[in-house]
């Protein structure tokens, strides 16, 4: 009997439409004449699912119950006895109730498949055993049921049922997934937009891996030996030529054929380039690389190929793309070529050599030394060949005097000097002198000279040849020094440009310096200005560990900045004199960067003072109106009571006393918020933090507020946070009071989750999270920032509805405790305020007593 086929409809989360898509497929197959039956469907009371089941034969099927009752079971043996072509079995990860034939529903499905029955089923990505821990870390909820991955992997067909996270939230709000009383809690937990997006990505990646497995199996069956590319890093070597854009696009096309990967563009600044002349091209290269999603890197190195390979290995690159100019063979032999040297030293890194025009060369190769080893060797070879060749050629030409021979040999010496430099030319001059003496001066055939004029002529020839060789060598050295200075100037120009267009921190700048000089670490050290004998203090560094400020340490280079009490230190290799000059320029930029940070800090302080003045002005304005109103009411009521002295009816006296009490409470609240705002603006709101539980803070914060419009849904075992409980109570009370005021007629829901869903990262620190949800009119996107400003009322609410300090105080107290307060639109309308405070690192798992001392209590 042939084994049945399994088709799984896979979804990233509940409600994406797995069961709906499965039943639609079942109805289509039934319409084509296939024998289709429904084994088990968990419809959770949804009318659309029940409508699709109508008309299909059901065997032992009962509807599910979302309310928490026992899950329905079915008689798998009855289906086997019926033996249809296709059976529909929902939720492959479901665990059967005690007493069932198998413990898990996937075992029921295995029985059906072994019986030759095709199965349609559904599964959610979080139920796969290999992904349950990943899903739990994202959503904070551990799947109650899991299924071995192999069950789904061996499915004959896997169909992903996908829906945008925003649309899934809309389905949730419409009641198509959970009942309405569970919507707010679901939105604050597993149905948060970030959670849904992450689950969707996990599902897509998992399915993409299955596609790769199927393709690999197909290649094996077809005998295809070519390997399928995996995720890789492609390094593209750039110079300053117009053809480099083609190299970038070629590297991007290589990367686009791979399932994921990184594009890294590298420019090596070194003598022989002219970066200042083509700085516009370098800017365009950087822009193109960033547009294509890559990163741009600038290095400093004498040997371009070596620097390029070192960088590629440091980033674990798998491929290198390098341009190869059209050059004649002599040019390759004498000048070398970066592409060929990269290939020879690449090892297991694949190298793509892209042919390019003979215009400006990509990464020109000029080896270290005066003229380079290759040209020096070529010069010595010519020093032996040219004198002999010149002598042989001149021997067959009759009637040439000594002066002609001397000039021709001198031309050969100059040629050798241009190719190999000073010492090959000196050698050529000596050999030419000996050959002229032996073959052209009397007596011929000996090294003797009978005519003093000939001796003087040979001596002048030798001096002239050596002088010309020396001048050529000096000129070559000066040219190379100018090229080096030009390359350094180009690098500094790029450094200055980056400093203008970017807003790097000191640490980020040190990271670029470390990358530029290809060292292990870079650090900034300072010492007090009044004590030169004090040790250096590390301020910032980049690398695996900070460098040593001791210049005697091997491989350490330090340069003092314009400020003698500040030093930039590199470790990992010894720098050349040219590198040290360039390092000094980096140090100057670093000093300017620190000065810029100092100016920014001063600017922030100035702005804070200006804000404080503005707040004080607003406080005076509030005192002039908002505080006078309750005072006038109190004064009027007290005056009436004093004048009547008991002659007023009891009901009227009671009403006046209630008025006094109400105005007094209002006055107390206004004064408290004004004082809170004053403390926040002056920076004196210092919290007394201790381990706190959200539940304790909420209980005290809600005292005095109408409980009928507030619903609290806190998960058990919520993380303990570090906060001032007095401040936290004020934060929660202000937000809830604001929500009740601007969302009348709808419940305010306080939601807290446990696990990863109740934790968020703020400035790199894990924080506990509490959400306060309302379904009022909400706030326009442009007004979210403004509503946290002091003395702001929604839609210019009339006087008497508060002075607009509630949210400003809440935000100020939250930030004072090291957290953040943000506003998000509530799906379906309204506003959700998210309070995030640092997790407690102290001992114990419970918060302090409700009356822990706090600066705001």
- The per-residue pLDDT for range 626-649, each reduced to its tens digit, is 566 677 778 878 887 777 776 778
In angstroms, what CA-CA distances link 27 with 9, 14, 63, 119?
Answer: 15, 22, 18, 14
Q: Which contacts (CB < 8 Å, 24+ apart) does range 451-459 have?
A: 454/402, 457/402, 457/403, 457/406, 458/406, 458/433
Average pLDDT over residues 597-619: 73
Q: Look at residue 450 in the predicted model and tell me its pLDDT.
A: 65
pLDDT band at 332 (very low <50, low <70, confident <90, very high): very low
pLDDT band at 231 (very low <50, low <70, confident <90, very high): low
Rounded to 5 degrees, what are φ and ψ at 693?
Answer: -100, 145
Q: Which of 373, 600, 378, 367 is nearest to 505 (CA)?
A: 600
- The per-residue pLDDT for range 457-474, each reduced to its tens digit, is 777 777 877 787 777 777
For residues 765 and 838, the answer to whether their CB atoms sit within 8 Å is yes
For residues 841 and 712, the answer to whether their CB atoms sit within 8 Å is no
The CATH class for the domain spanning 232-356 reads alpha beta
In angstroms, what CA-CA distances link 822 with 395, 647, 741?
Answer: 95, 55, 19
How would CATH label the architecture of 626-681?
Answer: Orthogonal Bundle (1.10)
Q: Is the pLDDT of residue 619 over 70?
A: no
pLDDT band at 334 (very low <50, low <70, confident <90, very high): very low
Q: Which residues, 6+ apart, have CB-to-CB distance to 633 below 8 Å?
A: 659, 660, 663
Highest mean pLDDT among 319-328, 498-507, 831-840: 831-840
pLDDT band at 24 (very low <50, low <70, confident <90, very high): very high
Least confident of 61-70, 189-198, 403-412, 720-729: 61-70
Highest mean pLDDT among 61-65, 332-336, 637-641: 637-641
d(CA 227, CA 222): 13
pTM recorded for the entire structure: 0.44
Can you point out the beta strands (E) in 742-845? Answer: 748-752, 759-762, 765-774, 820-825, 831-838
Residue, of 491 and 99, whose pLDDT is higher: 99
6-222 and 232-356 in the same fold = yes
- The per-residue pLDDT for range 414-431, each reduced to its tens digit, is 888 878 777 887 888 888
Q: What is the 3-state secondary structure (H, E, C) of 449-476?
A: CCCHHHHHHHHHHHHHHHHHHHHHHHHH
Q: Which of 338, 352, 349, 356 is nearest to 253 (CA)?
A: 352
- The per-residue pLDDT for range 667-718, each reduced to its tens digit, is 776 677 667 666 666 666 678 888 988 988 888 888 767 767 888 888 877 8
DSSP state at residue 97? P
d(CA 289, CA 267): 12
Query: In 292-367, where does DSSP find H-type helix?
Result: 304-314, 329-335, 338-345
Q: Is the pLDDT of residue 7 over 90?
A: yes
Q: Is the pLDDT of residue 99 over 50?
A: yes
pLDDT band at 501 (very low <50, low <70, confident <90, very high): low
Q: Look at residue 401 in the predicted model and tell me its pLDDT.
A: 75
For the domain 6-222, what is the CATH superfamily, name and number? Answer: P-loop containing nucleotide triphosphate hydrolases (3.40.50.300)
Three-class secondary structure of residue 716 per DSSP: coil
- The per-residue pLDDT for range 565-607, each reduced to its tens digit, is 788 888 877 777 667 777 777 777 777 777 777 888 788 778 7
Q: Is the pLDDT of residue 68 over 60?
A: no
- The per-residue pLDDT for range 835-847, each reduced to its tens digit, is 999 988 765 444 4
d(CA 692, CA 755): 17
Residue, of 386 and 668, whose pLDDT is higher: 386
Q: Look at residue 492 in the predicted model and tell me its pLDDT.
A: 60
Domain 687-838 sits in CATH 3.30.565.10: yes
Q: What is the mean pLDDT of the chain?
A: 75
Three-class secondary structure of residue 830 per DSSP: coil
d(CA 134, CA 145): 15
Q: Is the pLDDT of residue 67 over 50?
A: no
pLDDT band at 362 (very low <50, low <70, confident <90, very high): very low
pLDDT band at 359 (very low <50, low <70, confident <90, very high): very low
d(CA 332, CA 339): 11
Q: Is the pLDDT of residue 519 over 90?
A: no
How many CA atoms within 13 Å lie on the side-chain side of 74? 28
pLDDT band at 857 (very low <50, low <70, confident <90, very high): very low
Residue, of 651 and 402, whose pLDDT is higher: 651
- The per-residue pLDDT for range 261-275, each reduced to its tens digit, is 778 888 887 544 544
Q: Look at residue 117 in the predicted model and tell me its pLDDT.
A: 92
Q: Is the pLDDT of residue 513 over 70?
A: yes
For residue 837, what are the β-bridge partners?
Answer: 768
d(CA 382, CA 421): 11
Q: Is the pLDDT of residue 358 over 60?
A: no
Q: Look at residue 272 in the predicted model and tell me its pLDDT.
A: 46
- The per-residue pLDDT for range 712-765, each reduced to its tens digit, is 888 877 888 998 888 888 889 888 888 888 777 777 888 887 766 677 777 778
Maximum Cα–Cα distance across the chain: 154
d(CA 34, CA 57): 12
Q: Is the pLDDT of residue 376 over 90?
A: no
Residue, of 593 and 356, whose pLDDT is higher: 593
Least confident of 82-96, 149-163, 206-220: 206-220
Number of H helices, E strands in the chain: 25, 23
For residues 124 and 130, the answer to whether their CB atoms sit within 8 Å is no
Q: Which of 431, 335, 330 is nearest to 376 (CA)?
A: 335
User: What are the boundaries of each domain within the chain?
Assistant: 6-222, 232-356, 376-478, 513-598, 626-681, 687-838
């Amino acid at each position: 009997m042939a084994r049945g086929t399994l088709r799984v409809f896979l979804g990233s989360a509940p409600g994406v439409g797995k069961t709906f898509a499965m039943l639609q497929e079942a109805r289509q197959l039934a319409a084509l004449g296939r024998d289709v039956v429904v084994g088990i469907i968990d419809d959770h009371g949804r009318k659309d699912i029940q409508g699709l089941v109508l008309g299909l034969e059901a065997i032992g099927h009962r509807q599910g119950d979302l309310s928490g009752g026992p899950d329905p079971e079915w008689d798998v043996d009855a289906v086997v006895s019926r033996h249809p072509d296709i059976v529909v079995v929902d939720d492959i990860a479901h665990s059967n109730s005690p007493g069932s034939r198998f413990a898990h529903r996937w075992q029921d499905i295995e029985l059906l498949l072994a019986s030759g029955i095709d199965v349609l089923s559904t599964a959610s990505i979080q139920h796969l055993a290999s992904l349950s821990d990943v899903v739990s870390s994202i959503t904070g909820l551990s799947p109650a049921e899991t299924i071995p991955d192999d069950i789904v992997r061996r499915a004959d067909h896997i169909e992903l049922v996908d829906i945008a996270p925003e649309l899934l939230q809309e389905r949730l709000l419409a009641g198509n997934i959970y009942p309405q009383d569970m919507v707010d809690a679901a939105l604050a937990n597993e149905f948060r937009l970030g959670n849904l997006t992450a689950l969707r990505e996990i599902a897509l990646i998992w399915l993409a891996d299955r596609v790769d497995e199927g393709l690999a199996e197909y290649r094996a069956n077809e005998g295809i030996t070519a390997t399928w590319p995996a995720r890789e890093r492609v390094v593209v070597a750039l110079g300053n030529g117009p053809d480099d854009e083609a190299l970038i696009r070629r590297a991007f096309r290589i990367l686009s054929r791979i399932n994921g990967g990184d594009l890294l563009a590298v420019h090596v600044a070194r003598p022989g380039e002219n970066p200042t002349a083509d700085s516009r091209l370098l800017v365009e290269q950087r822009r193109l690389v960033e547009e294509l999603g890559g990163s741009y890197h600038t290095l400093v190195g004498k040997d371009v190929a070596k620097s390029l390979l070192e960088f590629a290995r440091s980033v674990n690159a798998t491929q290198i793309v390098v341009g190869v100019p059209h050059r004649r063979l002599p040019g390759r032999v004498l000048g070398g070529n970066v592409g060929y040297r990269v290939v020879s030293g690449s090892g297991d890194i694949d190298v793509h050599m892209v042919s390019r025009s003979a215009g400006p060369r990509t990464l020109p190769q000029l080896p270290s030394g005066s003229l380079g080893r290759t040209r020096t060797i070529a010069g010595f070879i010519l020093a032996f060949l040219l004198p002999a060749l010149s002598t042989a050629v001149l021997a067959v030409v009759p009637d040439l005097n000594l002066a002609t021979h001397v000039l021709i040999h001198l031309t050969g010496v100059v040629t050798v000097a241009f190719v190999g430099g000073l010492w090959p030319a000196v050698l050529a001059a000596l050999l030419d002198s000996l050959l002229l003496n032996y073959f052209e001066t009397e007596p011929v055939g000996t090294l003797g000279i009978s005519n003093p004029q000939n001796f003087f002529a040979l001596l002048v020839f030798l001096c002239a040849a050596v002088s010309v060789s020396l001048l050529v060598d000096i000129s070559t050295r000066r040219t190379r020094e100018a090229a080096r200075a030009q390359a350094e100037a180009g690098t500094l120009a790029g450094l200055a440009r980056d400093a203008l267009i970017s807003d790097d921190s000191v640490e980020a700048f040190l990271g670029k310096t470390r990358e530029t000089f290809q060292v292990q670490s870079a650090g900034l050290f300072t010492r007090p200005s009044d004590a030169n004998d004090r040790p250096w203090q590390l301020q910032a560094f980049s690398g695996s560990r900070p460098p040593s400020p001791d210049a005697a340490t091997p491989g350490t280079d330090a340069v003092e900045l314009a400020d003698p009490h500040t030093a930039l230190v590199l470790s990992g290799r010894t720098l050349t004199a040219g590198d040290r000059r360039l390092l000094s320029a980096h140090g100057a930029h670093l000093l300017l960067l620190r000065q810029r940070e100092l100016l920014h800090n001063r600017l922030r302080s100035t702005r804070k003072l200006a804000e404080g003045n503005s707040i004080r002005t607003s406080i005076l304005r509030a005192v002039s109106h908002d505080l006078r109103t309750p005072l006038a009411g109190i004064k009027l009521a007290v005056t009436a009571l004093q004048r009547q002295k008991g002659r007023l009816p009891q009901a009227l006296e009671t009403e006046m006393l209630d008025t006094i009490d109400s105005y007094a409470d209002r006055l107390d609240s206004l004064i408290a918020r004004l004082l809170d705002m004053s403390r926040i603006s002056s920076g004196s709101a210092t919290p007394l933090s201790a381990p706190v539980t959200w539940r304790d803070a909420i209980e005290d914060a809600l005292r005095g507020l109408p409980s009928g419009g507030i619903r609290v849904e806190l998960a058990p075992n919520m993380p303990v946070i570090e906060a001032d409980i007095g401040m936290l109570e004020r934060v929660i009370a202000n937000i809830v009071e604001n929500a009740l005021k601007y969302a009348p007629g709808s419940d305010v829901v306080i939601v807290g989750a446990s696990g990863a869903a109740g934790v968020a990262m703020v400035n790199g620190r894990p924080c506990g999270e509490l959400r306060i949800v309302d379904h009022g009119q909400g706030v326009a996107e442009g007004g979210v920032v403004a509503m946290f400003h002091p003395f702001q009322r929604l839609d210019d609410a009339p006087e008497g509805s508060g002075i607009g300090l509630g949210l400003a105080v809440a935000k100020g107290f939250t930030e004072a405790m090291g957290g953040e307060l943000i506003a998000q639109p509530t799906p379906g309308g309204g506003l959700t305020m998210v309070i995030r405070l640092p997790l407690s690192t102290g001992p114990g798992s419970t918060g302090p007593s409700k009356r822990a001392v706090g600066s705001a209590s």
